[in-house]
Chain A
Amino acid sequence: MNLLGNPPRLTLLFSFWLLLSSGSLDAAEKGQQGVQLNIGTILASNESDDFDPKLSKIKNQLEVIKYRSYRLIKEENQKVPWNGNAAFEIPGGRTLMVMPQEYRNNRISLKVRLLAGEKPLLDTTVRIRNRGNFLLGGPAHEEGVLILSISAMTQ
């Protein structure tokens, strides 16, 4: 069987190899590299009409919550291995613990725990799209409330 002398057969083999390698590389990368977590802490209030331009990317999401003013007061990134725990300090003596659990169907499963000191306030398990986010809000802070934008990304 002379493969080199048969361009169509060689092409089909090359195509097959290309598909296999792209799929396996993708899966391998996603499996190994863990998750990049991004937590944006936003102070929402009705004290003014100011909108922090740093929040422009999620402006339409924040508009779902009917406050007049939004200010990004903290942003933190952490790279976490699968089933590893990441702790984020939230203003007001609170802590946000996030554990990425699994990646399936382009969705990342996150176990999220919000604590006030040692006291748990909320435990939830959420599946978000890769590079997607969800908002966790409600804790009072200064003259408003805190909204946490929790996003996760795996390569």
Chain B
Amino acid sequence: MKDCEVIESSLGAWLDGELDRSEAERVRIHVQECPSCLGEKERLERLQASLKGVLEGGASGLAFEPFWDGVRQRILERKPWHARLWDWARPAFYPQRLAWAIPLVIVFLLGILSLEQFFPGWRWGLNRGNVAAVDSIDGHGFNVAVFRESKTKTTVIWLFEDQEDENESSGESASTDSSF
């Protein structure tokens, strides 16, 4: 009984020739030996024949020729270059494929950032942000000057070595302030 249920569910596919060879053979043998399934097969065949008759009768009234002409024309029609380009590129914008753009963008940005390592100053010039910050300074009795030049971002610490005697004689302490 269970066999019959399985075979009946495969009958439609068998009649349409959609089963593989071994499966089709199994159904054929069963149908030959089982009156119930044979009956079911004959019922399906009659149903298919009726449907075919109805469809063919109805379809004869339809004008298929202009329809197929239109299809043929659309196939043969040469699209403009931008439409063909879009057809070619469109799959790349499918969400699943677009997802790969995220790591691609990250790799690109990391590449840009690491270029600075191999080509220092390529982005904003060598001197960008080159201004040094002097946290502390002690001239040990000598005058010291710190100056910065904004255009070239240069920081210079200047030691007035030859003024030691003058400072010592005047008793002034050396400059320890970096903020002038």
Contact = CB atoms under 8 A, between A and B. Distances in A.
B136 A125 contact: yes
B99 A18 contact: no
A135 interface: yes
A140 B159 CA distance: 10
B157 A129 contact: no
Contacts, number: 121
Contacts of B120: 131
Given A7-B99, A60-B152, A61-B152, A123 B138 contact: yes
B154 interface: yes
B96 A124 contact: no
A18 B162 CA distance: 57
B140 A11 contact: no
Interface in B125-142: 126-127, 129-140, 142
A137 B157 contact: yes
Given A64-B152, A125-B135, A137-B157, A12 B140 contact: no
Contacts of B134: 124-126
Contacts of B25: none
Given A57-B126, A123-B137, A127-B135, A134 B155 contact: yes
B167 to A, nearest CB: 13
A140 B154 CA distance: 21
A96 to B, nearest CB: 12
Interface stretch (A33-41, A74-82, A114-122): A114-122
Nearest to B141: A121
Contacts of A7: 96-97, 99-100
14 contacts: A8-B99, A15-B102, A18-B103, A60-B127, A64-B152, A64-B154, A119-B140, A121-B161, A124-B157, A128-B132, A128-B133, A128-B155, A132-B129, A134-B132
Interface of A: 7-8, 11-12, 14-15, 18-19, 22, 57, 60-61, 63-65, 106-107, 109, 114, 119-129, 131-140, 155
